[in-house]
Structure 1
Amino acid sequence: MTILDKKDPLDLESAKLDSDSNLDSSIKEKSLTWPQAAFLLLLEYIVIALLALPSSWASLGYGGGTIATIILGLTAGYTQHVLWRFCLKFPEVRDILDVAVILVGGGKWGKIAWSCAFVGLVLNNVAIMGLHVVQFSVSINTLSGGARCTQVFAVCGTLLMLLISLFRELKHMSLLGAIASGTMLLCIFLAMLFAGIQDGPANHSGGPIIVAPWASDAIGVVSGNNAVLNILYTYVGHILIPTFVADMKEPKDFDKAIYLSIAAEIVLFSLAGGIIYWQIGATDMTSPAYGSLEPAFKKTIAAFVLPTVTIVGGVYCLVTAKTVFARIFDFNSIHRRSHTVKGWTAWVVIIIVLWILAYIIGQAIPFFNDLISLISSLFDSWFGFVFWGIGYFFIYGRKSFSGWGMVEGPLNILITLVGFVVLGLGTYTSVESIIESYNSGSIKSPFSCTNNGY
């Protein structure tokens, strides 16, 4: 018997019983309010990847970077809105895996879709967790000047994030989410301030700082496309949203969290990318951008980056673990509702396995921008575009082109096509960039003790 066979994830009656059983449980589900959900969304989007945005501006220019940020932001907001409507239409949805089953009509194909989505979700989230392991070691090395082997810092970061992941209720992460978002906002504002008041970018060789409104003629398809993928990655966190909606007290209120977060993201991303690029320029830009600051400034940023890195890594692990845990125990199992030895043992084992995989991925692929681009191509193409472009037609069926559907119908066809373009072209350019990085020696060797700080 497969995990899918143990409990049909699309069983409406089970979903209803699941909700009712929360009344007497000691571990609460469906406990999120929309302000708490908004904090979780901001936690998901106001992350270390924000400090990679200026490098996209360095490739696209301040005009091209701003336009790409606004268009991708509006697209992300709309697809999140479709996702929310999809969850209201199919309230039995618990996570992205249930969405995949619905989109292929269930049955035999449903099991295949569930398995593919499960693998995609785990790989996507574990790769992001690995990225946070790398960034933890980068920050500590920047602060300490590489006083210890990088692997020591990577292991310490992994263990710290593992402890944070042990929370089993999303509502407990909302307060940590507020802390992480606050420290990351402070990092962004400090980076903009420091970039303006320093004498010049770190390691600047002299001469004028080079900025331009548009991408130069010298930029290739690989660099240009990867710059757009970096911006796209920062916006696409759709893979976690079905889990958030399923854990809401009132799922119909989730749209308020979407509107609040997407408006804040577009404004913040545009300011962060444009202002830091304007002060540092294309020639001296690093990713994350705090590597281009003077020593005292970069150490300050590195210190404030640490809370965001650790908490966001914990949230991605938590959501992934909840997905795995829900497929081990039935919806109404006592091990999901109460503090049982068996339940906690399974939970801890899942958390440990996920962080071991994250550590291996993070140290085997020790780079930042290229890993972001690869994640965007392989996973954001599906979970950020294709799923919701197709999902729109499952919401409205024959009425998909009626009324507002005359606009939304063609738009969602376009969104689906864009998703496949991102998958194909994006994966190609990401792999090419990784090959170029290895050939040029700009990527340090896997599992290395070499100082990766700034």
Structure 2
Amino acid sequence: MGFFEKKDALDVESAAHKLDSDSNLESSIKEKSLSWQQASFLLLLEYIVIALLALPSSWASLGYGGGTIATIILGLTAGYTQHVLWRFCLKFPEVRDILDVAVILVGGGKWGKVAWTCAFIGLVLNNVAIMGLHIVQFSLSINTLSDGARCTQVFAVCGTLLMLLISLFRELKHMSLLGAVASGSMLGCIILAMIFSGVQDLPPNHSGGPIIVEPWAREGVGLVDGNNAVLNILYTYVGHILIPTFVADMKNPKDFGKAIYVSITAEIVLFSLAGGIIYSQVGAADMTSPAYGSLQPAFQKTIAAFVLPTVTIVGGVYCLVTAKTVFSRVFAFNSVHRRSHTVKGWSAWIVIIILLWILAYIIGQAIPFFNDLISLISSLFDSWFGFVFWGIGYFFIYRRKSFSGWGIVEAPLNIIITIVGFVLLGLGTYTSVESIIESYDTGSIKSPFSCVDNGF
């Protein structure tokens, strides 16, 4: 099958460049149009998201020292694996998305088809689960603002439709502008959450006594809670699944490294401050996830309002990237339906978008929880797309030179990264499922497709 052959992929790229240089075939939908500044906004949009408000609950389990150390180590690891992924994309310029990476890692051929199928299923399930998470968060925020004035399903449907409309953009550069809005909104949300947690007297429903904070994991935190706390932090850092699509859409892919350095520095600083400050003011006993449930009602409503732009825009971006992956397999790279506004092209695009959001709505309402869903996504998908792929991918970049020069340090490091990925897959999935079972047993999770108010 020619799709899996490097030569065919390069021929497609050559055809695309020929079309770009042909003045008689001016494209109305442009690809390869991202600057590194726009890519930085997209990365920040991907990482400065609602999951940030789950970080303080990780501190509540791990304590100051454990939360800070986990945040810094996972941040540096995420930055390094992003760097390896970028180098991988430069080494293999035919890569358009994470699916092409999977094919290359197994050497193509029959195994390439299997790898492509598995990666495709993983990408769609990962992104659709994240889209479903944003539907849940949209309904939670609206319920918080309206005091549960309507059935939760009404708000979930409205959020789905709003994010569907945002997803109809077909060029990533347009989403980068919205990304700046979403990142700014979420940054304001986090800053306000830190301020509000400090100025309020006590968290709502405080049972009395002093605010409890610990330097390390508090007593009673076992394997399940501790591992899921680490997975929550990991989820916030791992967005590698979208990066090949961003690099493929760059004007100059060699500039993408600048976007990585800007975003990972901002992430480590912001994540450490957000988790540590809110935890220090709220304590372990009164912590909720998302963290704004630990604020007084007036503050909750303010944060809920700030959350909405980020929730809707980020949900739209994940749908857009997923739709581009599917769309690129429906039409060839140099197809007129991809590069111009045709009825057939737009019809296919809209159908793909609608189907993705229907699936996201079903997942979001069938699994209506926050922390446990984040942990499950991290263990099932981030273990592969954030660790295993790039630990193995490093050796594809340098081949026989893997252990020369910097390879003396990098090669063993990538072996460790690969092993960590498999550990996260096995242990993380186990602890996530155990936590979900426990949540249902204790009644802390509301029933699926329920009208019950899920707001604070």
> In structure 2, what is the equivalent of residue 315 of structure 1?
317
Q: What is the rounded CA distance, in whole Å, between the counterparts of 1:398 and 1:7 in structure 2? A: 24
> 1:11 pairs with 6, 9, 31, which one?
9
- Give me the whole-angstrom Cα distance separating, in 1, the residues matched to 2:14 and 2:275: 45
Give the letter for the 2:162 counterpart: L
Which segments of structure 1 move beyond 3 Å, counting only runs of 4 or more? 4-10
Say whether residues 1:187 and 2:185 are aligned partners: no
Unaligned runs of 5+ in 1: none
Q: Indicate which of 219, 222, 245 corresponds to 2:221.
A: 219
Counterpart Cα distance in 1 of 2:209 and 2:220: 20
Amino acid corresponding to residue 111 of structure 1 in structure 2 = K
Q: How far is 1:22 from its partner?
A: 3.5
| Paired amino acid for 1:128 | I
Number of residue pairs aligned between Structure 1 and Structure 2: 451
Deviations 1:93-145 (A, max 9, x none): 00000000000000100000000000000000000000000000000000000
Q: Contact conserved, 1:22 with 1:337, CA < 8 A, in 2?
A: no
Does residue 353 (structure 1) correspond to residue 351 (structure 2)? The answer is no
| Contact preservation (8 Å) 1:366, 1:443 | yes
For 2:202, the aligned partner's letter is G
Match of 2:57 in 1: 55
Structure 2 partner of 1:30: 32
Q: CA deviation at 1:20?
A: 3.4
2: distance between equivalents of 1:330 and 1:171? 21
**What per-residue deviation string (whole Å, max 9, x for no partner) do you get for residues 201-220 of structure 1?**
11112110000000023111
TM-score w.r.t. the length of structure 1 is 0.98
Q: How does 1:132-171 map to 2 (within 5 A)?
A: 132-171=134-173
Shift of 1:5: 5.5
CA contact (8 A) 1:22 1:29 kept: no
* 1:402 match: secondary structure: coil
Q: Residues of 1 paired with 2:408 and 2:418: CA distance?
A: 16
Q: TM-score, normalised by structure 2?
A: 0.98
Counterpart for residue 299 of structure 2: 297
For residues 361-390 of structure 1, give each alpha carbon's deviation from its aligned partner in whole angstroms, at most 9, with x where no partner exists.
000000000000000000000000000000
1:321 and 1:136 mapped to 2: Cα distance?
21
CA contact (8 A) 1:95 1:243 kept: yes
Distance in 2, matches of 1:83 and 1:273, equals 28
1:364–1:447 Cα contact (<8 Å) kept: yes
Identity of aligned residues (%): 84
Aligned partner of 1:419 in structure 2 is: 421
Post-superposition shift, 1:19? 3.4
CA apart distance, 1:292: 0.5
Name the counterpart of 2:243: 241
- Give, in whole Å, the separation in 1 of the partners of 2:207 and 2:109: 63
Look up the equivalent residue of 1:149 and give its one-letter code: C
SS in structure 2 at match of 1:92: coil
Q: Deviations for 1:284-335, whole angstroms, at most 9, x for unmatched residues?
A: 0000000000000000000000000000000000000000000000111100
Residues 253-289 of structure 1: CA deviation (Å, up to 9, x unaligned): 0000000000000000000000000000000000000
Checking the alignment, whether the CA contact within 8 Å between 2:5 and 2:108 is kept in structure 1 is: no
Match runs of 1:361-380 below 5 Å = 361-380=363-382
Letter in 1 for 2:279: Y
Paired amino acid for 1:42: L
Task: Tell me, in whole angstroms, the C-alpha distance in 2 between the residues paired with 1:354 and 1:22.
Answer: 31
Report the secondary structure of 2:20's partner residue.
helix
Are positions 1:87 and 2:89 aligned together? yes
Seen in structure 2, the aligned counterparts of structure 1 residues 168 and 22 have a Cα distance that, compared at 3 Å, is: farther
Q: Deviations over 1:170-216 (max 9, x none)?
A: 00001100000000000000000000000101111211000000002
Structure 2: which amino acid aligns with 1:27?
I
Amino acid at match of 1:266: I
Query: Of the candidates 323, 326, 329, which is equivalent to residue 324 of structure 1?
Result: 326
Q: Give the superposition deviation at 1:70.
A: 0.1
Q: CA deviation at 1:17?
A: 1.7
What CA distance in whole angstroms lies between the structure 1 residues aligned with 2:38 and 2:90?
A: 19
Give the gaps of 5 or more residues in structure 2: none
Q: Is the 8 A contact 1:19 1:30 kept in 2?
A: no
Match for 1:22: what amino acid? D
Secondary structure class of the residue paired with 2:308 = helix
SS at match of 1:11: helix
Contact 1:130 1:362 in 2 (8 A): yes
Pairwise CA distance, 1:6: 6.2
Question: Contact 1:195 / 1:279 at 8 angstroms: preserved in 2?
Answer: yes
2:44 aligned with 1:42:
yes
